Structure 1
Amino acid sequence: MRITIVAASIDNSGGFRVVSALGQRLLASGHDVRIVAPTKAQPGLRAKLRALRHRQTLRPRQQHSDHLGSLQDRTTVVPHRAPLVADDLPDADLIIATWWATMDWLQDLPATKGTPVHLVQDYETWGGPSHSVDHVMRMGGPKVAISTYLHKLLTDTFGQRDVLLLPNAVDHTLFHAEPRSKQKTLTMGFVYAPDPRKGTDLVLKALDRVRHTMPNIKVVAFGHHAPTKELPLPSWIDYTISPKQETLRAIYASCDVWLFGSRREGFGLPILEAMACRTPVIALNAGAAADLIDDGSGILLDNEDWTGMADAILRIGAMSEEEWRAYSDRAHHRAAEQNWDRVGSALEHWLVDVVARPRSR
């Protein structure tokens, strides 16, 4: 099959990691896969002035990704900003949108550009007016949901019937760790992000509460943003900006517990990446947390329950070596079930069926 994947940008985000992983599996199965994206808009005067006011370094927005792998030479960034138009895209059997706006771009394309498929990675109401996102979510045609939460949203709220539930996986060549013991100094980690959806403020509240009872803890974090004035990081947190993949693996593997505080999420790849590195996860119930954390592989809490997160940290801190090791082993076993080759194969078989259907337009 000839498959075009339409991306909003080429970057190091978790969403693009998923797009690239799926594309590489389809390519390895013998399909002609291409990724096309528009040129990313550069920071404007307002953003520059804001950065100057907060004494932040504002870097140009680059179009590159560490996740492209075998798709590096099959990726095109067109010389203009969004939206993409027919002339930007090769003829194909399938054209896969990876964000609500990219799905909107596909509606008036000629049939030669392929059958549109919507890869739904989140309910992206922060990316535009909610009525525009909802309109796209109600569009007919085949859709892929990466979590039970999104599958239920598509079927129950938006009345979709042609939806493949295809949970994300993890690259076990990148994220792995040898069996280990719980450390004498309880070490935990989290992802820093200034967006309120990501719940960094909730994690910081939980950690501050824990330190009153257990002052001798170690905390690490990573993210893609310098800490903001509105959401500063305490000096006792060891923070790494945009770590390389091997450094990222080492951060996960250095922890006794990983903290996932998102208020809203389509999936939450750090949960799976930490578990693959044998690190149990304490997660608020967002994205795929409920899908992944079961049978003692971690601790699942109600959404926004930061006090419960603090209590769960203390619970893990009080665990015996044997209890913690059981959590670690179960987390690793759960992550091992999520394999990109298996996920890619399931997607391939479903897409073959989509191409075989009569075109409705």
Structure 2
Amino acid sequence: MKITFILPRLSARPTGGGKIVYQYANALANIGHTVEVVHPRTLFLWGIRKTLPLKLLSLAADCARFAAVRLTRGRVSVPWMPMHPNVKISVVPALFPYFIPNADVVVASLWRTAEYVKHFPSSKGRKFYLVQHYETWSGPVHRVDRTLKSTMHKIVISSWLKLLVVGLSGDEVHQIPNPVDHDEFFVTTPVTNRQRVVGMLYSPHAWKGATDGVAALEQAKEEFPELKAILFGTSARPDFLPEWITYVRSPDRKTLRDEIYNVSSIYVCPSWSEGWGLPVLEAMACGCAIVSTDNGGTADFVVDGGNGIVVPPKRPRELGAALLSLLADDDRRTALATRSIGLAQRFTLEASVDKLLAALTDAPIAAKV
């Protein structure tokens, strides 16, 4: 089968949604499918800018990108992700049909890419939409909703997104959980040997709840002065971060696994909303107990009282109290961490690829994990 994945602009830094698509592309190429991942140089987003000067500046930049790029299909690499040699990575001027290869299947992966894909001619393949979040934080609600109501075949990654998309479109959808790569993320430090260290992802997006997470960490630090925290992300170290908190920018996989996840006894997710929450699942595979908000995505693998503690979003005091309760009870923390490892083992790349192929070949919808 010839499969085209459509991603936004090629990013120099890791993205969660991009990582999942690249993992699928690698796995599908490994079993003999012909796979191409297409990145546009521009998505022409000038129309969503709020003022006329910003619209004009954005349009000028979009046109410059479109005019400057050359068609570089098959000669581009992903800076942060090893790719199967048979996966073609393309950078094209824009997502116009002329630049898109003919295929059996084409898969959109972002609301703006879905706007293009839904108008592709049939020669580009059967149209699928991999929904990884309700992306109203990056686009107007009416346009995001319109893509979710479209006639494209929809694949969602979590239970709450399934309810959302079914409610908006009335369509039957495939639910395929995001996998964790267990060859990449696993326990290297026994959970019983870990000190009071908390890990957390930092993102500048407000809905990621970083300020709530830091407030919770500072609350816990007052009770446990020896507490250490390790934050990581792709952005520069934020100015508001206290000096006692370590920050690692763009860690490689080994550093993320061995020096962040496996050093941490607890991983905290303070997000207000998550499509899935892949770093949480990675931390679970590495033996962390979880303290998380009730953010939607992580509900499919973080069980309150089972492998972690779940609190309402936007309540840093409750997040801090949950942290304190685990920092004060090492036996409970160890028990939750042990269950995390077992739960994470259920989410494998092989299982997700099998479900993806079933969806792409229009097989019956598989039962969710």
User: What is the TM-score normalised by the length of structure 2?
Assistant: 0.84
CA–CA distance in 2 between the matches of 1:257 and 1:15?
A: 24
Which residue does 1:17 correspond to in 2? 19
| Cα drift, residue 309 of structure 1 | 1.4
Helix, strand or coil at the partner of 2:361: helix
Which residue does 2:2 correspond to in 1? 2
CA–CA distance in 2 between the matches of 1:122 and 1:350?
A: 19
Asked if the contact 2:37/2:87 (under 8 Å) is kept, the reply is no
Q: One-letter code of the match for 1:335? A: A
CA–CA distance in 1 between the matches of 2:339 and 2:189?
A: 11
| Cα drift, residue 132 of structure 1 | 1.1
| Cα drift, residue 319 of structure 1 | 1.3
Q: Does 1:346 align with 2:355?
A: yes
Asked if the contact 2:77/2:89 (under 8 Å) is kept, the reply is no
| Cα drift, residue 209 of structure 1 | 1.3
Greater Cα offset, 7-16 or 258-267: 7-16
Q: Does 1:292 align with 2:281?
A: no
Helix, strand or coil at the partner of 1:117: strand
| Cα drift, residue 172 of structure 1 | 0.6
Which residue does 2:222 correspond to in 1? 212
Which residue does 1:118 correspond to in 2? 129
Asked if the contact 1:142/1:354 (under 8 Å) is kept, the reply is no
Which residue does 2:336 correspond to in 1? 327
% identity of equivalent residues: 30
Which residue does 2:88 correspond to in 1? 74
| Cα drift, residue 183 of structure 1 | 5.2
CA–CA distance in 1 between the matches of 2:337 and 2:86?
A: 35
Q: One-letter code of the match for 2:280? A: I
Which residue does 1:311 correspond to in 2? 321
User: What is the TM-score normalised by the length of structure 1?
Assistant: 0.86
CA–CA distance in 1 between the matches of 2:228 and 2:88?
A: 43
Structure 2 unmatched ranges of 5 or more: 44-56, 59-75, 365-369
Which residue does 1:256 correspond to in 2? 265
Asked if the contact 2:191/2:287 (under 8 Å) is kept, the reply is no
Q: One-letter code of the match for 2:140? A: P
Asked if the contact 1:268/1:287 (under 8 Å) is kept, the reply is no
Q: Does 1:101 align with 2:112?
A: yes
Helix, strand or coil at the partner of 1:132: helix
Asked if the contact 1:40/1:63 (under 8 Å) is kept, the reply is no
| Cα drift, residue 177 of structure 1 | 1.1
Q: Does 1:246 align with 2:221?
A: no
Q: How many residues align?
A: 331
CA–CA distance in 1 between the matches of 2:175 and 2:194?
A: 41
- Structure 1, residues 228-249: CA drift from partner, whole Å, max 9, x if none? 45xx211111101001111111
Asked if the contact 1:140/1:160 (under 8 Å) is kept, the reply is no
CA–CA distance in 2 between the matches of 1:328 and 1:91?
A: 47
| Cα drift, residue 337 of structure 1 | 0.6
CA–CA distance in 2 between the matches of 1:182 and 1:218?
A: 17
Asked if the contact 2:114/2:129 (under 8 Å) is kept, the reply is yes
Asked if the contact 2:291/2:309 (under 8 Å) is kept, the reply is yes
Greater Cα offset, 217-226 or 160-169: 160-169
| Cα drift, residue 141 of structure 1 | 2.5
CA–CA distance in 1 between the matches of 2:133 and 2:85?
A: 24
Give the ranges of 4+ consecutive aligned residues of structure 1 lying more than 6 Å apart after TM superposition.
none
